[in-house]
Amino acid sequence: MLRAKTFVAGLLILILATACSSETVVLSPDGSIELQFKLVNDQPFYQVKKDGAVLVTDSQLGFEIQNQSAIRDNLQIIDVQQSTFDETWSQPWGEVKNIRNHYNGLVVTLQEKSNLQRIVKLNFRVFDDGLGFRYEFPEQENLKDFVITNELTAFNMWSDLKAWWIPAYGDEIDSEFLFSQNNLSEIGQKVHTPFTMEAGDSLFVSIHEAALVDYAGMTLNPVGKELKCDLVPWSTGEKVKTSAPMKTPWRTIQIAKSAGDLITSYLVLNLNEPNKLQDLGYVKPEKYNGIWWGMHLNKYTWKKGPNHGAASPVVKQYIDFAAANGLSGVLVEGWNEGWDYDWSLGRFNFTTPYPDFDLADLSQYAQEHNVGLIGHHETGGNIENYESQLPEAFAFYQKHGVHSVKTGYVTRQPSGEFHQGQYMVRHYQRVVEMAAAHQIALDIHEPVKATGLRRTYPNLMTREGARGTEYEAWSAGNPPEHTVILPFTRCLAGPLDYTPGIFDILIEERPENRVHTTLAKQLALYVTIYSPLQMAADLPENYEGQPAFQFIRDVPTDWEETRVLNAKIGDYLTIVRKDRNSDDWYLGSATDEQAKELSIDLGFLLPNRKYQAEIYADAADADMESNPTAIEITSSTVTATDQLELKLAPGGGQAIRFHLLE
Ligand code: NOJ
Ligand code: CA
């Protein structure tokens, strides 16, 4: 199903010229969003309206350039092109199969009236669910190699909106924070994107970026109601080193009438280039377990010694468990030389296994059990060390039949480069391409933020870039509201490897730590937090004899359709997804620390058909604090005309499989 058309739509365009300002307007296909571009005193500005009301008031565009004047002043419009585009494309894997890419486009070419006469184009795409814009510098005489010292893009919000945020420049690993909620004027520090705002019950806005390639990541600096683009610098202070011709990433503004519609907006993906990879046979959504949680609990060590996690007998035990339970991947961390030193030194060797880890033997054992090993490259943030071994590191895994690798960047030493700066953006890109050349898919921890590049490079499957389950093992943990904020913030960027599925909620090995959910909510996370790779994170022994583990065995990782049935950011949400490979639907519902009752309509099921609803609910007396593992597993026959009442305990959740009966 592919429909595409592009033409110049003269009727949609309105150019008003006055003595000091000229305006160009473009509407979204349904007419609800209006983008206005204008020059005011020869400087570029844009404005956005939703349903006729101003949402982003006049906001600055432009750049400061090293050793040159800013590209902002003395500009004139020399060309205006308008187009419309409508295409439906399919994701090789994803949270939804088919995505409609439908927008009205506007490209305004600006040129300085005198002096250097530099040219910059502004490319706007206005969709029904928001808009994106990027700057393009064509090849030109007076702009060759140049250094951007500041991007002047601003997002001047119409009112002092409520927002959810994590700090930018916060620590060594960049984005592993709990969210705060404040009005814009109260934030007072630079924040990461996606940055999500709410205006009452019927308007939600999220600012992010798409297609971040060879440029600096954008953070936002809130000043009053205005959010100023703040590009993450090099350690030496420059923002972007570049040369014309070039295109910046897209600045994106997603606009929705309900919080759930932000989750099912695919605008960021639509602004990325189509798939560039030939063979995708090795790129497979899957569930995995791994030699991982045991290290975070100090049961095993990454480094060699008596409790070495990656020792072959332990790995075989995990392979056996995976094979018996429908998990097709086994992650092994701590398998290679280098873990005996301080990680931040990054002295890892990616082709030298510890002597007790026999990769050839394990790889064959895994294959015999229809399981694939998932490799691990912890770099410790030492990019020089990693890059010097890059081709060999991936060739080594490829030779042993490993088609998926988790990477990690736990510090930013010794280079001192930020995870979101241009230096690291280039590095992550190099790794994605190197992995693809060796038929390897990636799960990146401590990553650069996702900006939809998975469309172009589908081997870039998932990543962390959030405070995940690991924090439950060795810190104060993640309060219940964290997982009902993530789907509306971090997860708008792309898949999140949150590593759910902890059944030993009180964590026997670490009595001072615990997981901050009920057991039923651990199951719900497989549906509410999308990732094509989902971990069954707990120790295999904690799943033995647990009827609730059946949901993890059953839940798919590749979806045809996704719908949000109800949502309130920071409070609760319910998502249903249809399996891509069967007629079954799955539901995940989660709440914060408050108990919640939700009534849901099963109208998403096929009409006039019967489904077996396998329900994993918080028991009547379940409570995250006092009785977290009380779960009630029931089964009943339902149809599309039924309603279900979900009762979620404080810190609780519910998971349901709707299995189509013949
Ligand atoms: C941090 C990652 O998030 C975690 O999953 C991993 O186990 C450690 N680094 C060690 O690489
Ligand atoms: Ca981490």
Please determine, for residue 186, whether its predicted confidence score (pLDDT) is greater than 70.
Answer: yes
309 lines ligand 1 (CB under 6 A): no
For residue 472, report the distance from its CA to the centre of ligand 2, in Å.
12
What count of other Cβ atoms lies within 10 Å of the Cβ of residue 548?
A: 19
Is it the case that residue 501 has pLDDT exceeding 70?
yes
Pocket lining: 443 vs ligand 1, CB cutoff 6 Å: no
Atom of ligand 1 nearest to the CA of 445: 3
pLDDT above 60 for 116: yes
Q: Which segments of the chain belong to CATH 2.70.98.10?
A: 3-270
Give the lowest-confidence range in 5-19, 436-450, 492-506.
5-19
Pocket perturbation via mutation, ligand 1, pick of 173, 345, 405, 410 by most ligand atoms within 8 A of CB: 410
- CA separation for the pair 449, 492 (Å, rounded): 11
Q: Among 350, 419, 470, 533, name the best residue to mutate to test ligand 1's pocket (greatest count of ligand atoms within 8 A of Cβ).
A: 470
Q: How far is the CA of 493 from the centre of ligand 1 (A)?
A: 21
pLDDT at 71 over 50: yes
Ligand 1 lined by 445 (C-beta under 6 Å): yes
Q: Rounded mean pLDDT of 476-487?
A: 98
Mean pLDDT of 308-312: 98
DSSP string, 453-508: TTTT-TTEEEE--S--THHHHHSS---GGGGGTGGGTGGGTS-B--------TT-T
For residue 474 and ligand 1, the question of a CB distance below 6 A is answered with no
Q: Give yes or no for residue 288 CB within 6 A of ligand 1.
A: no
* Local confidence band at 171 (pLDDT 50, 70, 90 cut-offs): confident
Ligand nearest to the Cα of 303, by number: 1
- Closest Cα to atom 2 of ligand 1: 445
Query: Which residues is 36 bridged to in the sheet?
Result: 25, 47
Q: Is the CB of 470 under 6 A from ligand 1?
A: yes
Indicate if the pLDDT at residue 8 is higher than 90: no
Residue closest via CA to ligand 1's atom 10 equals: 378
Lowest mean pLDDT among 4-13, 196-205, 207-216: 4-13
Before 194, cis peptide (omega within 30)?
Answer: yes
Q: How confident is the model at residue 21 (pLDDT cuts 50, 70, 90)?
A: low
Residue in 34, 378, 470, 614 annotated catalytic? 470
Distance in Å, CA 445 to ligand 1 centroid: 7
Closest C-alpha residue for ligand 1 atom 7: 292
Beta bridge partners of 255: 205
Cα(468) to centroid(ligand 2), Å: 7
Q: In which residue ranges of the chain is CATH 3.20.20.70 found? A: 469-495+505-531+553-662
Ligand 1 pocket member 464 (CB < 6 A):
yes
Which is the closest atom of ligand 1 to the Cα of 468? 3
Quick one: pLDDT at residue 6?
A: 37
469-495+505-531+553-662: what CATH class? alpha beta
Catalytic, 470? Answer yes
Close Cβ partners of 172 (under 8 Å, ≥ 6 residues apart): 381, 410, 411, 412
At 17 the pLDDT is: 40
For 449-466, b/e burial (b = at least 16 CB within 10 A) is bbbbbbbbbbbbbbbbbb
The rounded Å distance from CA 467 to ligand 2 centre is: 7
**Average pLDDT across the chain, whole number:** 96
Give CA–CA dist 213/51, Å, rounded. Answer: 33
Residue nearest to atom 11 of ligand 1 (CA): 378
Ligand 1 and 408: CB distance under 6 A: yes
The verdict on the CB of residue 292 being under 6 Å from ligand 1 is yes
pLDDT over 90 at 2, yes or no? no
For the CA of 295, the nearest atom of ligand 1: 7
Ligand nearest to the CA of 343: 1
Ligand closest to CA 171:
2
pLDDT above 70 coverage of the chain, percent = 97
Pairing verdict, β 460-463 and 441-444 = parallel
Q: How far does residue 311's CA lie from ligand 1's centre (Å)?
A: 18
pLDDT tens by residue, 220-263: 999 999 999 999 999 999 999 999 999 999 999 999 999 999 99
Q: What percent of the chain has pLDDT over 90?
A: 94
Is the model's pLDDT at 399 over the cut of 90? Answer: yes
Mutate to test the pocket of ligand 1, among 289, 378, 498 (most ligand atoms within 8 A of CB): 378
The reported pLDDT for the residue numbered 5 is 35
pLDDT at 19 over 50: no
Q: What is the value of pTM for the model shown? A: 0.97
Is 137 within 8 Å of 245 (Cβ atoms)? yes
CA pair distance 188, 174, nearest whole angstrom: 18
Name the closest ligand to CA 335.
Answer: 1
The residue-averaged pLDDT of 74-79 equals 98
Ligand nearest to the CA of 467: 2
Distance 292 CA to ligand 2 centre (A): 12
Q: At 424, is the pLDDT very low, low, confident or very high (cuts 50, 70, 90)?
A: very high
Mean pLDDT computed over 538-558:
98
Whole-angstrom distance, CA of residue 402 vs CA of residue 282: 10
| Residues with Cβ within 8 Å of residue 432, at least 6 apart in sequence | 442, 453, 457, 459, 460
What number does CATH give the domain 3-270? 2.70.98.10
Q: Model confidence over 347-393: pLDDT tens digits?
A: 999 999 999 999 999 999 999 999 999 999 999 999 999 999 999 99
**Residues contacting residue 474 through CB under 8 Å, at least 6 positions apart:** 296, 510, 513
C-alpha of residue 559 to centroid of ligand 1, in Å: 27
CA 364 / ligand 1 centre spacing (Å): 26
Question: Which residues have a beta carbon within 5 Å of ligand 2, which is an ion?
Answer: 445
The atom of ligand 1 lying closest to the CA of 302 is 10
Query: 445 C-alpha to center of ligand 2: Å?
Result: 6
410 lines ligand 1 (CB under 6 A): yes
- In this predicted structure, what is the pLDDT of residue 484? 99
- Provide mean pLDDT across the span 554-563: 98
- Ligand 1 pocket, mutate which of 300, 333, 407 (most atoms under 8 A from CB): 333
